[in-house]
A and B are shown apart, each in its own frame.
Chain A
């Protein structure tokens, strides 16, 4: 099977390790991965901040880059939800505003083919044990758009539970937002920071050394808070844990 990796602009720029981990993991599972070099950004930050007209060309660009692939895999619940949940809505709005059917028709093909990484592993490849090894105590934070937008359910947890050496511990208040929320973190810094600090305190109470999530934007906020609070915990993207093996452990 051949898939396109939609890495997201944040991962591409700031978290290339996550991208390398996805490539390593999928290749190990026999999937041929392509990275279309023309990819940029799904437009979520624009859309969610109120700039729908700036987001529309980016969505068009996305559909142009990825339209020809059988499946599109992304290591981000948030950007995955943008494509699956909000692209159809953008299309409908454009149609309702009398701007023709073209945007809806352009976006429609990529919507059902876009999968968040854990969804792709469990639903499409049908695996929960990906042969990973990660000898650490880990707590899992289900990010909002993965949890409520895409309905990832217990897929990430099932994948983590099958990792050899990994001890998964429950995160209190797991379903509460960490306070990132894209531009929310800039527009409402005090509330955002308070939410982040509470998330970190809950994570610390588990005794785990690692907080894992399926979205680097949320991990950037949580990890930045951990660093500032001098917490001993580390934020790690789930792809990097799943890519880790005994032969090639995650550093």
Chain B
């Protein structure tokens, strides 16, 4: 997989190509509008949705506030159930741990359940470098892998592909990865699914090592939970001899009872289903049933740094439902790749610049990849105020300030490239602090209105390329007011 996001251009440049691709826009529009409407219906069925949303938010906030306690409890429970817990501070450490665990089994192939955490750390590439081939078994991840592509959606990683493209990929690439696709494969959904099923079945039956993520980890019992729709997850979680789960530390919940909330809100928010088709839960190991060896790799990779930020930490409540992507008008036009991360859309715009820092061009541009319309906040099942965090991160980009990186407090300098904007904001603030100066400016604009250009230079050019500018009126309101109401109390 060519899954590197390094050197990504800033969001506006990356989005431009997507906006100008009518097929991609059509695919995205159709897919997001369909799921959006279904989600709204599924949510409307639940009478106590507002309470469930509040409960989910509270459980997550409580857990995050006492994260150290619950992670230690989780480690004890997992160990007591026969599992082995590893702690990984960053992507490199996590990859090193998993690679050495796989090597220790002597195997050169692993099967994978779709996992955001392993995508985030680039595990497949690390395994490949160590001579281990990782097979993605989620249908959409398989499509992405065969296409040497990157995921563009949290839940539907191949949302940017249509059926014709998928058939061509299967025909051209499947043979190199195992069982080839049938010669006469059409783009019918049932035929495509059957080709994938036969291809994957061979992997499930042969694999001795499975790699997963988890949607939730229960501290109380040491239980891990994966929810999915295809059954591939259940195969990967039960058939291999060794199971390695790589999970972000924020996925822990205190008690079994807490699942009651999330197993209602997650499926309805993500796939608009009342209940997801497969919910797999496992607790350590059991003799004669399932994997005999279980490793849990707990991944930090910027999460405790994010936790240190009072406003930004709410991003860690995310349960990866992707409702915010499906409702976002910006995601719908720009597509997932423009966000330069395994986490696209509104949640990606606040998560990536926190996990990775705002040092790169793409990460510094992500907080601006939103019109702040608020639709993402409205649909979020754990009430993450995404617009609030976006504005907070914009402030970090333009003003700098204290942040935590790799556990250390550092003071960021303002990002480059905002000097003209900063000067304009200061000038505007100066004028707005002085009604007289504002009035002089307004009058000047009104008197010179016949000479105003139809197109603007500088940053305004982007506006006038696609939109007409409003004409400046002959008289600003305040002059009219003074002329007509000047003698009254307000005309001071």
Contact = CB atoms under 8 A, between A and B. Distances in A.
* B partners with A: yes
Contact of B467 (A19, A145, A228): A228
A179 B482 CA distance: 35
B323 to A, nearest CB: 15
A188 B470 contact: no
A177 B19 contact: no
A141 to B, nearest CB: 12
Interface in B393-422: 393-399, 421-422
B106 interface: no
A89 B372 CA distance: 16
Interface in A167-187: 175-177, 179-187
A227 B472 CA distance: 16
Contacts of B476: 12-13, 16
Contact of A61 (B421, B433, B488): B433
A182 B398 CA distance: 16
B155 to A, nearest CB: 21
Interface stretch (B256-264, B296-304, B327-335): B327-335
Given A58-B429, A179-B371, A14 B329 contact: no
Contacts of B370: 181, 184
A188 B330 contact: yes
A47 interface: yes
B435 A37 contact: yes
Q: Which label, helix, strand, loop or mixed, suits the secondary structure of the A interface?
A: helix
B54 to A, nearest CB: 17
B438 interface: yes
Nearest to A40: B432
A137 B217 CA distance: 56
Contact of A37 (B15, B371, B492): B492
A184 B429 contact: no
Contacts of A34: 488-490
B373 interface: yes
A224 interface: yes
A251 to B, nearest CB: 14
Interface in B1-45: 11-12, 15-16, 19-20, 25
Given A52-B395, A189-B463, A224 B468 contact: yes
A50 B374 contact: no
B490 A49 contact: no
B62 to A, nearest CB: 20
A184 B426 contact: no
A1 to B, nearest CB: 15
A51 B425 contact: yes
A201 to B, nearest CB: 12
B467 A225 contact: yes
A235 B399 CA distance: 37
A40 B19 contact: no
Contact of A189 (B25, B377, B434, B466): B466
Contact of A58 (B433, B445, B485): B433
A246 interface: no
Given A61-B433, A224-B467, A37 B478 contact: yes
Contact of A184 (B371, B465, B469): B371
Nearest to B475: A16
B467 A149 contact: no
Nearest to A55: B429
Contacts of B279: none
B84 interface: no
Nearest to B378: A148
B459 interface: yes
Given A35-B478, A37-B490, A50 B391 contact: yes
A190 B15 contact: yes
Interface string A194-224: 1111000000000000000000000011011
A149 B378 CA distance: 10
Q: Which label, helix, strand, loop or mixed, suits the secondary structure of the B interface?
A: helix
A191 B463 contact: no
Given A186-B463, A221-B467, A228-B467, A16 B12 contact: no
Give the most central of B20, B422, B435: most A CB within 10 Å.
B435
B441 to A, nearest CB: 8
B462 interface: yes
A181 B372 contact: yes
Contacts of B491: 35, 37
Contacts of B378: 148
A85 to B, nearest CB: 10
B472 A13 contact: yes
B388 A89 contact: yes
A124 interface: no
A16 B478 CA distance: 8
B12 A189 contact: yes
Interface in B450-492: 459-460, 462-463, 465-470, 472-473, 475-478, 480-482, 485, 488-492
Interface in B327-364: 329-330, 333-334
B467 A49 contact: no
Interface string A146-159: 00110000000000
Contacts of A9: 432, 438
Contacts of B463: 185-186, 189, 224
B61 to A, nearest CB: 17
A117 B60 CA distance: 38
A225 B464 CA distance: 10
Contacts of B431: 40
Contacts of B462: 185-186, 189
Given A37-B482, A228-B466, A195 B371 contact: yes
B15 A224 contact: no
B329 to A, nearest CB: 5
B36 to A, nearest CB: 10
Nearest to B492: A37
A26 interface: no
A48 B391 contact: yes
A13 B432 CA distance: 12
A191 B394 contact: no
A34 B462 CA distance: 38
Given A47-B391, A224-B469, 5 more contacts: A41-B432, A48-B372, A50-B399, A61-B432, A177-B329
| Closest 3 A/B residue pairs (Cβ) | A181-B371, A50-B394, A224-B467
20 contacts: A12-B477, A13-B442, A16-B476, A19-B477, A20-B477, A35-B477, A43-B429, A50-B391, A51-B399, A180-B371, A183-B421, A188-B12, A188-B330, A188-B368, A189-B465, A191-B19, A191-B333, A196-B467, A220-B470, A228-B466
